[in-house]
């Protein structure tokens, strides 16, 4: 066995200074870790709790400084230029590795990997011209979803095609980007799995999470999902992806559940919004285990402590006052300015019994309606 690492005094660099970087830092201080985030934004919210380097993600001087000042580097969003991570990886350990990031950045590469690993996906075809769009529709049928291969998130860069007449408008909007057309999946619900893998291959999984999206943005997660029969398959799929990419850190995979069959939608090579409940609802949070993995520390238990629901606050934060006294409620204000469509905070409700959770959640409906 290798020598145990002493985390005290290690400095973790994070490319990106959003709420995920902020929650990573807050989870890492009790372990004795230090943090430096790289973000060009003056008001990056992780900059309120960690040292911030102000610089573009592809600025070689900023990347060199980050590498020089950190023991290991990770990232908090998947649109970091792959070349920037390669640059960093030449100077400092980077986890997850640039290949994992590159695969997750491209919906076509991601689905190709899923297929190679026998993980079911929607029917899909690459689309690079209007003619290819017509040909692809013949493969997927209608309805279908036309998506940009890169830089899409929270439902951005995608159009649902319901009839042939929709093709021209969708093409006019998305032409110029490399695209992928996917068959529309008539799912019964959406589930995600989060896993953390260490460099020695040790892997831990949190229980499946059930997610509700509105307008492509996650609004509500419940964990553990009532999905015992699907846990083993979801874990096997995640393990296959983690091993194939020699992955270190937390990975999330989003699935459609179609009558008991899991169809993989996409993966995120980072801590994920559907894992925020783990801060209070699991023995070890996704943030802490991501840090443990990238720093070479043993992973902690992912055991769920009771039942949790996570409510996302989009656009603006509701007044916490009327809700803070709710037993089991935990408030997270990301310190971000309000803006339409922006994730500005979340709340987790944790209870010991599942029926208590549903009762308490019903009383929190105004929080879900807030926007
Ligand atoms: P994505 O950015 O790919 O995660 O898509 C955002 C949301 O759009 C998903 O969580 C689904 O609710 C919906 N969606 C995306 N792709 C499909 C699909 N092929 N079939 C049905 N719904 C989809």
Q: Which atom of ligand 1 is nearest to the CA of 265?
A: 3
Task: Indicate the domain borders of the chain.
Answer: 11-94, 123-183, 189-367
pLDDT at 371: 61
- Atom 2 in ligand 1: which residue has the minimum CA distance? 155
Mutate to test the pocket of ligand 1, among 216, 254, 263, 266 (most ligand atoms within 8 A of CB): 216
184-189: average pLDDT? 97
Q: Which residues contact 71 (CB under 8 A, 6 or more apart)?
A: 10, 11, 12, 92, 93, 295
Distance 114 CA to ligand 1 centre (A): 16
How far is the centre of ligand 1, averaged over its atoms, from the C-alpha of 216 (Å)? 7
pLDDT of residue 161: 97
Q: How many residues does the chain have?
A: 371
**41, 42, 84, 49: which is closest to 65 by C-alpha?**
84
Q: How far is Cα 264 from Cα 262, in angstroms, rounded to an integer?
A: 6
Helix (H) or strand (E) holding 290, with range, is: helix 286-294
Neighbours of 61 (CB within 10 A): 10
Query: Following DSSP, what letter does each residue of 164-213 receive, concatenated?
Result: TTHHHHHHHHHTTS-EEEEEPP--SEEEEEEEEE-TTS-EEEPPPEEEEE
How far away, in angstroms, is 1 Cα from ligand 1 center? Answer: 43
Q: Which atom of ligand 1 sits closest to the CA of residue 145? A: 19
User: Hey, whose CA ends up nearest to atom 18 of ligand 1?
Assistant: 184
* Statement: residue 1 has pLDDT above 60: no
Give the pLDDT mean for 256-261: 97
Is the CATH number 3.40.50.300 carried by domain 11-94?
no
What are the structure tokens assigned to 275, written together?
Answer: 């894992």
Lowest mean pLDDT among 151-155, 162-166, 228-232: 151-155
The yes-or-no verdict on residue 315 having pLDDT over 80 is yes
Q: How far is the CA of 147 from the centre of ligand 1 (A)?
A: 9
Instruction: Output the CA torsion sign for 352, 358, 363, 364.
Output: positive
Count other Cβ atoms within 10 Å, centred on residue 91: 14
pLDDT score recorded for residue 227: 97
How much is the average pLDDT of 250-267?
98
Atom of ligand 1 nearest to the CA of 154: 2
What's the gap in Å between 273 CA and the centre of ligand 1?
15
Pocket of ligand 1, beta carbon within 6 A: 122, 145, 152, 155, 182, 184-185, 190, 213, 216, 254, 265-266
Residue pLDDT, tens place only, 27-48: 999 999 999 999 999 999 999 9
Is the model's pLDDT at 141 over the cut of 70?
Answer: yes
pTM of the model: 0.96
Counting from 1 in the atom list of ligand 1, the atom nearest the Cα of 218 is 10
Q: What is the average per-residue pLDDT within 317-346?
A: 96
Q: Look up the CATH superfamily of 123-183.
A: ATP-grasp fold, A domain (3.30.1490.20)
CA of 43 to the centre of ligand 1 (A): 30
Q: Quickly state the pLDDT bin for 7 (edges 50, 70, 90).
A: confident
- Atom of ligand 1 minimally distant from the CA of 184: 20
**Mean pLDDT, rounded, of the chain:** 95
Whether the per-residue pLDDT at 215 is higher than 90: the answer is no
Alpha-carbon gap, residue 319 to 367, rounded angstroms: 9
Q: How confident is the model at residue 105 (pLDDT cuts 50, 70, 90)?
A: very high
| Residue 103 pLDDT greater than 50, yes or no | yes
pLDDT more than 90, % of the chain: 92
| Across 284-313, average pLDDT | 98
Q: What mean pLDDT is predicted for residues 79-97?
A: 95
Confidence of residue 166 (pLDDT cuts 50, 70, 90): very high
CATH for the stretch 189-367: 3.30.470.20
Out of 12-16, 94-98, 105-109, 153-157, least confident range: 153-157
- Residues 66-80, mean pLDDT to the nearest whole number: 96
Q: Which atom of ligand 1 is nearest to the CA of 144?
A: 19
Query: Is the peptide bond preceding residue 96 cis, with omega within 30 degrees of 0?
Result: yes
Residue 156: pLDDT band by 50, 70, 90 thresholds?
A: confident
The atom number, within ligand 1, closest to the CA of 183 reads 19
Residue 3: predicted pLDDT:
65
Q: What is the pLDDT of residue 370?
A: 54
Kindly report whether the peptide bond that precedes residue 219 is cis, defined as omega within 30 degrees of 0.
no
For residue 83, report the distance from its CA to the centre of ligand 1, in Å.
28
């Amino acid at each position: 066995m290798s020598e145990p690492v002493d985390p005290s005094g290690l400095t973790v660099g994070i490319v990106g200074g959003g709420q995920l970087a902020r929650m990573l830092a807050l989870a890492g201080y009790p372990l004795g870790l230090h943090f430096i985030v790289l973000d060009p934004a003056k008001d990056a919210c992780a900059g309120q709790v960690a040292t911030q380097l102000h610089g573009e993600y592809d600025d070689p001087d900023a990347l060199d400084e980050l590498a020089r000042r950190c023991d290991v580097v990770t990232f908090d969003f998947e649109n970091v230029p792959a070349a920037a991570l390669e640059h960093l990886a030449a100077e400092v350990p980077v986890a997850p590795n640039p290949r994992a990031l590159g695969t997750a950045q491209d919906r076509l590469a991601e689905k190709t990997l899923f297929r190679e690993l026998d993980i079911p996906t929607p029917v899909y075809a690459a689309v690079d011209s209007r003619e290819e769009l017509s040909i692809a529709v013949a493969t997927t049928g209608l309805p279908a979803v036309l998506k940009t291969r890169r830089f899409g998130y929270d439902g951005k860069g995608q159009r649902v095609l319901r009839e042939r007449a929709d093709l021209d408008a969708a093409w006019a909007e998305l032409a110029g980007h490399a695209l992928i057309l996917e068959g529309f999946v008539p799912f019964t619900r959406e589930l995600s799995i989060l896993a953390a893998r260490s460099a020695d291959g040790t892997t831990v999984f949190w229980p499946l999470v059930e997610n509700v999206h509105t307008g492509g943005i996650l609004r509500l997660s419940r964990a553990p999902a009532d999905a015992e029969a699907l846990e083993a398959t979801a874990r096997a799929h995640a393990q296959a992806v983690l091993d194939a990419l020699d992955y270190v850190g937390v990975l999330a995979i989003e699935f459609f559940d179609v009558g008991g069959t899991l169809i993989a939608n996409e993966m995120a090579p980072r801590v994920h919004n559907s894992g925020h409940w783990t801060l209070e609802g699991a023995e070890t949070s996704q943030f802490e285990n991501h840090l443990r993995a990238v720093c070479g520390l043993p992973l902690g238990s992912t055991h769920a402590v009771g039942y949790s629901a996570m409510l996302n606050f989009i656009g603006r934060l509701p007044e916490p006052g009327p809700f803070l006294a709710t037993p089991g409620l935990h408030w997270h204000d990301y310190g971000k300015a309000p803006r339409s469509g922006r994730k500005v905070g979340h709340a987790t409700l944790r209870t010991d019994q599942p029926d208590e959770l549903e009762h308490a959640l019903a009383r929190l409906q105004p929080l879900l309606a807030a926007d």
